[in-house]
Structure 1
């Protein structure tokens, strides 16, 4: 089933939601204390899950169980979606971030075309070679990196993870806040020092992330030798909208061939496929697991394709609306408001 309003095409998914005015009905707790409920999504409807149905005390414990846990939910979706009992329309609830990660790992410079564009743009002013020659040189460099190099990781703060129900507040300390649509891996079984051949066994599912970046804070100006400052550039409140769905890995036939698209106020800015990844998902998981164990529910962002605001010379402003979609995973809508107008 497909929900036209959410873009979800998977047979089922997980989501976290609130339903003001519906507490005590449709299986929702009478008193939730403002906490989101975990729900099973089929098409355009959602059904709250009990701990017994989930087979675990919380989401991350569920994800740690591996594929058999998702099989139980698939059976529940098949058995109960027809009778309508306990199901709510997605339009009647508010979806929030479908994950509760303990760790967030981000991947930089991982889309071949994007990195080639950046390399060429950075050398054009001082390099006498024609642009096409520069592009060939940069492409050869990227192909060598993919064969012989390793992924580039840095870490984000789980506190920045929100759903698209939260407005993106653009901090007043800069006017250079940018978007970065990314396919995001959600870890299932713990992964530590694994090889790429076994990496996908540790994937619980996939979701959408928009990794907001403040461009003028990426590189330190006070001591350029220090390099990048990802803490200040990426970790403001709400700078990592995620969701709205957590889609099981079994429902994504080929995560290496998914279409990604981000529209800003109706204009397409990013339009790519994950086939352009320099390091594929098994390589990313294997590489990231060498330093620290990846835990159930952790997020691994796979990088952002070409088409960020820095390319277009157009950064985020008050009132902007970003609509991001990844094939099969749904649609995320984020509204921006300047800190001054909040």
Structure 2
């Protein structure tokens, strides 16, 4: 485990957040983390030793009122956050992932993934991609596909790079956490179903995104995105009330200390409300589910530098904290 020291000066926006923690050699438990890096064990506070963060999200409307009271209760029993290991904040039933949702990112990918025989100058292909993105924003719908909960790992855990993954890449994202069952909700009401927000790094093996044995099938997201640990999540869920505007959050990913992604959510083609609403038109979103909203420009394909053994990724989103993960090459049997 590669643990990033937690600084109380920049934990998250608002007075508290939800986390899943564990003491050394102890079980995971749901916790309220205060802005000054103190922890309230919610099993004791709610009188339920089997309580989980997802269980709290199942009754979020009632939960949030109690959490607000606990955060302001000076008499509540608290311990330092530094005493605990931080895990992924929630175990979702479903993960909805977004592709091609940041304008500059998609333009860069369009240029990087040159079709065979396309010898046009980069400027021409970039202009073509920009026109496509403008048309998408005006006329099209979001692109959403399904991820696996088994790909999720903690925000400070090592990420194992499978031996078969020849081009593993990073994709820092804002993730919305669902707090009420949502089915066929409108864009206008969609944010009412969001309990809070967290950070996801949606790793992708670029070499297996497209099926080469049968190109007409298209993308293979199972193979390219769902290896165990390919979705570092957290460190916490910050309630939506503490993030009232998701339209200007800054996403920054550093690789070994060098900034690779540094972009605002203003560059999104479809905002959080449109993403949640769109996913709910086909599926029934459940409390604890994740809606990942896409990644901005600056991935490894753009830089010509993919992930390798020993790399350390530091990812942060305004008001949501930061995660740090180290890449470890899979040991072949």
Instruction: State the TM-score, normalizing by the size of structure 2.
Output: 0.91
Measured after TM superposition, the shift of residue 188 of structure 1 is 0.6
- Taking the aligned partners of 1:227 and 1:89, their CA distance within structure 2 comes to 49
CA contact (8 A) 2:163 2:332 kept: no
Query: What is the root-mean-square deviation in Å for CA atoms of aligned residues?
Result: 2.3
Aligned match of 1:214:
205
Aligned match of 1:49:
42
Which stretch has the larger CA shift, 136-145 or 104-113?
Answer: 136-145
CA contact (8 A) 1:188 1:204 kept: yes
Which residue among 5, 20, 39 is the counterpart of 2:24?
20
2:247 is equivalent to residue 250 of structure 1: no
2:313 is equivalent to residue 322 of structure 1: yes
1:206-237 deviation per Cα after TM superposition (whole angstroms, max 9, x unaligned):
00001111110111111111111100101111
CA contact (8 A) 1:162 1:242 kept: yes
Measured after TM superposition, the shift of residue 6 of structure 1 is 5.8
Measured after TM superposition, the shift of residue 71 of structure 1 is 2.3
Q: How many residues align?
A: 325
What secondary structure, in the 3-state scheme, does the structure 2 residue paired with 1:117 have? helix
- Taking the aligned partners of 2:23 and 2:141, their CA distance within structure 1 comes to 44
- Taking the aligned partners of 1:57 and 1:91, their CA distance within structure 2 comes to 22
Measured after TM superposition, the shift of residue 122 of structure 1 is 4.2
After superposition, the Cα gap between the structure-2 partners of 1:121 and 1:213, relative to the gap in structure 1 and judged at 3 Å, is closer
- Taking the aligned partners of 2:268 and 2:47, their CA distance within structure 1 comes to 34
2:29 is equivalent to residue 37 of structure 1: yes
Aligned match of 1:77:
71
2:258 is equivalent to residue 267 of structure 1: yes
Structure 1 unaligned regions, length at least 5: 22-33
Which stretch has the larger CA shift, 122-131 or 238-247?
Answer: 122-131
- Taking the aligned partners of 1:243 and 1:199, their CA distance within structure 2 comes to 22
What secondary structure, in the 3-state scheme, does the structure 2 residue paired with 1:243 have? coil
Aligned match of 1:87:
78
What secondary structure, in the 3-state scheme, does the structure 1 residue paired with 2:306 have? coil
What secondary structure, in the 3-state scheme, does the structure 1 residue paired with 2:326 have? strand
Structure 2 unaligned regions, length at least 5: 1-5
CA contact (8 A) 1:51 1:57 kept: no
- Taking the aligned partners of 1:54 and 1:292, their CA distance within structure 2 comes to 33
